[in-house]
A and B are shown apart, each in its own frame.
Chain A
């Protein structure tokens, strides 16, 4: 495992990252793929909901909110 990889929910707001690995499987994995989350897809953390979870991400031009349960199963590499 790459040392720079972090779960998506730890990506600070306003920062961009590249998707490196999906650790989910079954229906959740398929749904993530449908969102266009394939390897090297760029993703940006935009906005936290008032209670902190879910977080809205910019995925391929669409704003998608993911709960921490789902986001933690997406490993990303931050772009600095």
Chain B
């Protein structure tokens, strides 16, 4: 749920890779590595670019770039997707492989996790087959030390034949040495002689049959040995990429194809078929990694992972797993709701005090009253509402949520929920893309790229909107604090609010599963595809970084987005409220027009209009509702939540209105950015329309059923 300017808004839409060199001497560095090895931390520390790290595979789904200068050279670092392998079993692996092969990087830095190095060596060895300009960065040495794992970096470098640098990127240790090594490798001061993996005789024989034939075609641009293995393997996606890169159709080169057949004759003689070839290639790499590991890694304690396993045993236990999950969510909400109350009032008081001063100024300056109306009553007041209603909950909620993310809890959520997704015939990774949706639905939809099967990916895209994003959380929290917090008195108040919010979220997850199931039984029929999920080690979160990152990357980002949309919206609302047609203002006419339909859903015309006007950004729904009511009401001073509640009640709000507004906020059309992202990701207007209609129709149906039932049994 990286909610940075890069992964939300316009930045998120740029998936094409374009590298902008500022000079011919600039060196391009590919930054690769397994997921969860702190690759993004290395990236951020070196480039200073603020980019968020997530705890699941495929977080970095687009290529992020950053620049840094070391000594006398500029380096452009390209953060490629985290992968375990370059065998192109998934989209990220394909992207990673294609960039290392065809992106012409001057060097590739492979970031590895010192706490499970052997597994990481798989990717290192595969990369060494492609290019010799590799620098291995053994990261998380601090974590390894804590687990009493020691690594012989020098021996590792000997074994691999490339520079190996140990780092603890979170505290910045070793990064200078890493930059030095990159400098030397790109400046050809250090010549690497990477180890070569020798396969079975039969495979080697086949490779040497083909290799001479392709050397001429490759023109030294690629490692001929590696291309020979891949040609024999006949890997589809690589052949296509190769053709495009070389601008040469290898498949219609008779000489090469004849040699491929010859190679296969040799393999067949040795009794090797296609599956076996691949098995043997992979087995060789894996057992080589194992051998290198045994020479370079030593464990002082057998039980180095015991703490993690014990925590997992509790957090994912049969009895407590799901209650703890809901409990943690509830606690985050409780802290947010109780904590946000007081600062919200303070900020509101201050901002409205400031409004009075502005008014004084306009009176003093003698400007026409419509200028004051437009600027102060229109724009300023809306902004003041946005800031005072949204800032405090966000400033508490986001750091807490980021903390859970940083600890490594989210993959456990996916583990706990997987069976439900399987039963809904959806992909297990949808639990992860759903979690990303809590941050930003547009980011969640981009994240759906980690799902390979097109059917399951579409399901994940269409249902992503059923969890509230950062823009909608404040709406839900605001309604709860304004409306329900006042209903129950005393200490129970915050408990009731928390339960309500938790209930809404759990309902959103339930609807995600239900709609996924319905989709996979109707327009997107099929069975769930294969799924593996890594539960990465728990990491000690860095509180300082968590706060800085969540405040700057998320809170201020969301607030800025809200403010930039709210200002013009405030203006429009004020104008609509002050242009009269007949006896009524334009605002009342519009609301009146929507009212009959809105009433069926338990809402009113103003609320529905706020949702429509909120299409560019969901953040402004509540401010618009308040502004519309203020424009038509007679309460002038609003400096406490109680008065806000009175404002809503005086416009006919009951608990039913509040619940229906929350339900509709949870289930309606995706915001503008999200719709645009869906179009880009699915490449089809049809699926964009489906993604727009499915949550909208669901919301309308649920609100209608809920409000009619309540009215029918006369609860109101």
Report A's interface with B, CB cutoff 8 A.
22, 25, 27-31, 33-36, 38-39, 41, 46-54, 56, 58-67, 69-70
User: Quick check: is B524 within 8 A (CB to CB) of the other chain?
Assistant: no
Q: Is the CB of B531 within 8 A of A67?
A: yes
Which residues on A sit within 8 Å (CB–CB) of B89? 27, 30-31, 34
Asked whether, in the complex, the Cβ of B415 is within 8 Å of the Cβ of A56, the reply is yes
A61 and B119: CB pair below 8 A? yes
CB-defined contacts of B119 to chain A, threshold 8 Å: 36, 59-62
Residues on A with C-beta less than 8 A from B115 are 61
Given contacts A49-B415, A50-B316, A50-B321, contact A31 B118 (CB under 8 A): no
CB-contact partner of A64 in B289, B319, B322, B533, under 8 A: B533
CB contact between B322 and one of A25, A27, A50, A66 (< 8 Å): that residue: A50
Contact present for A63 and B118 (CB under 8 Å):
no
Q: How far is the CA of A36 from the CA of B21 in the complex (A)?
A: 38
Rounded to whole angstroms, the CA-CA distance of A38 and B191 in the bound complex is: 33
Residues of B contacting A: mostly: helix
Q: Are A36 and B532 CB-contacts (below 8 A) given A52-B419, A53-B418, A56-B415?
A: no
For B283, the closest partner residue in chain A by CB is A38
Add 5 more A-B contacts to A33-B279, A38-B283, A65-B534 (CB < 8 A): A34-B282, A49-B416, A50-B419, A63-B537, A67-B418
Tell which of A27, A31, A34, A56 has the most Cβ of chain B within 10 Å: A34
Interface presence of B295 (CB below 8 A): no
Query: 1/0 per position for B522-533, CB-CB distance to A under 8 A?
Result: 000000001111
Q: How far is the CA of A53 from the CA of B282 in the complex (A)?
A: 28
Residues of B within 8 A of A (CB): 84-85, 87, 89, 115-116, 118-119, 122, 275, 278-279, 282-283, 286-287, 289-290, 305, 308-309, 312-313, 316-319, 321-322, 415-416, 418-420, 422, 428, 452, 530-537
Contact check, B415 vs A35: say whether CB atoms are below 8 A apart.
Answer: no
Given A36-B119, A60-B118, A67-B422 in contact, is the A54-B309 Cβ separation under 8 Å? no
* Min distance, Cβ B189 to any Cβ of chain A, angstroms: 34
Nearest CB in chain A to that of B149: its residue: A61
Which among A41, A51, A63 is the interface contact of B419 at CB below 8 angstroms? Answer: A51
CA distance A49 to B89 in the complex (A): 26
> Given the complex of chains A and B, what is the CA–CA distance between A63 and B321 in angstroms?
17
What are 7 A-B pairs at a CB distance below 8 A? Answer: A30-B282, A34-B87, A36-B286, A38-B286, A49-B415, A49-B419, A65-B532
| Closest Cβ–Cβ distance, residue A11 to chain B (whole Å) | 16
Residues of B within 8 A of A51 (CB): 419-420
- How far is the CB of B432 from the nearest CB of chain A, in Å? 12
Per a CB cutoff under 8 Å, which of A31, A50, A53 touches B532? A31
- Which of B87, B122, B420, B532: most chain A CB closer than 10 A? B532
Contact: B532 with A70, CB < 8 Å? Answer: yes
CB of A63, distance to nearest CB on chain B (Å): 4
Pick the contact of B312 from A39, A63, A70 — CB < 8 Å? A63
Write the chain A residue with the least CB distance to B281: A33
Are B87 and A61 in contact, with the CB atoms below 8 A?
Answer: no
Given A29-B275, A48-B318, the answer on whether A66 and B122 have CB atoms closer than 8 Å is no
B530 (CB) vs chain A CBs: closest residue: A28
Q: Give the nearest-CB partner of A54 in chain B.
A: B418
List the A side residues contacting B532 at CB < 8 Å. Answer: 31, 35, 64-66, 70
A49 touching B418 by the CB < 8 A rule? Answer: yes
Question: B84–A34 contact, CB under 8 A?
Answer: yes
| Cα(A54)–Cα(B312), bound, Å | 14
Known A-B contacts A38-B286, A47-B313; A33 and B415 likewise in contact (beta carbons under 8 Å): no
* Closest-CB distance, A30 to chain B (whole angstroms): 5
Chain B residues lying within 8 Å of A39, measured Cβ to Cβ, are 283
Nearest Cβ on chain A to B312's Cβ, whole angstroms: 6
Across the A-B interface, give the 9 residue pairs with the lowest CB-CB distance, nearest first: A50-B321, A51-B419, A61-B116, A63-B535, A33-B282, A65-B533, A38-B283, A34-B85, A28-B530
- Min CB distance B245 to A, Å, is 23
From residue A66, how far is it (CB to closest CB) to chain B in Å?
Answer: 6
- Smallest CB–CB gap between A20 and chain B, Å? 13
Cβ-defined contact, B535 with A30, below 8 A: no
Q: How far is the CA of A36 from the CA of B530 in the complex (A)?
A: 17
Selected from A46, A50, A66, the residue in CB contact (under 8 A) with B317 is A50
Contact indicator A67/B278 (Cβ below 8 Å):
no
CB <8 Å contact, A65 and B530? no
B316: shortest Cβ distance to chain A, in Å?
6
- List A contacts of B275 (CB < 8 A): 25, 29
Q: Which residues of B contact A47 (CB under 8 A)?
A: 309, 312-313, 316
Q: Which listed residue (A34, A49, A53, A70) contacts B122, Cβ 8 A?
A: A34
CB distance from A7 to the nearest CB of B (A): 15
Chain B residues, Cβ within 8 Å of A36: 119, 122, 286, 289
CA distance A60 to B87 in the complex (A): 19
The answer to whether A53 touches B85 (Cβ under 8 A) is: no
Given A34-B122, A49-B316, A50-B416: A56 touches B283 (CB 8 Å cut-off):
no
| A65 interface neighbour in B85, B415, B537, Cβ under 8 Å | B415
Q: Is the CB of B535 within 8 A of A56?
A: yes
Q: Are B530 and A27 in contact, with the CB atoms below 8 A? A: yes
A33 with B278: CB separation less than 8 A: yes
**How far, in whole Å, are A59 and B286 apart by their CA atoms in the complex?**
12
Residues of B close to A38: CB separation below 8 A: 279, 282-283, 286-287
Complex CA–CA separation, A47 to B418 (angstroms) = 14
- Nearest CB of chain B from residue A40's CB, rounded to whole Å: 9
Contact A30 B418 (CB under 8 A): no
- CB-CB under 8 A from B419, the residues of chain A are 49-54
Question: When the two chains form their complex, are residues B282 and A64 in contact, meaning their CB atoms are under 8 A apart?
Answer: no
A66 to B535, CA, bound (A): 11
**B122 contacts which chain A residues (CB < 8 A)?**
34, 36
Contact B418 A64 (CB under 8 A): no
Do B530 and A70 have beta carbons less than 8 Å apart?
yes
Given the known A-B contacts A56-B535, A67-B428, A70-B531, are A46 and B418 also in contact in the complex, defined by CB atoms under 8 Å? Answer: no
B316 contacts A69, CB within 8 Å?
A: no
Query: In the complex, what residue of chain B is closest to A56 when comparing beta carbons?
Result: B535
- Tell which of B87, B452, B534 has the most Cβ of chain A within 10 Å: B534
A22 to B287, CA, bound (A): 17
Which one of A27, A46, A65 has the greatest number of beta carbons of chain B within 10 Å? A65
B530 touches A69 (CB 8 A): yes
**Min distance, Cβ A28 to any Cβ of chain B, angstroms:** 4
CA–CA, A29 and B330, complex, Å: 40
Q: Which residue of B lies closest to A70 (CB)?
A: B530
Query: Which residues of chain A are within 8 angstroms of B283 by Cβ–Cβ distance?
Result: 33, 38-39
Given A34-B84, A49-B418, A51-B420, answer yes or no on A62-B282 (Cβ-Cβ < 8 Å): no
Neighbouring B residues of A34 by C-beta, 8 Å: 84-85, 87, 89, 122, 282
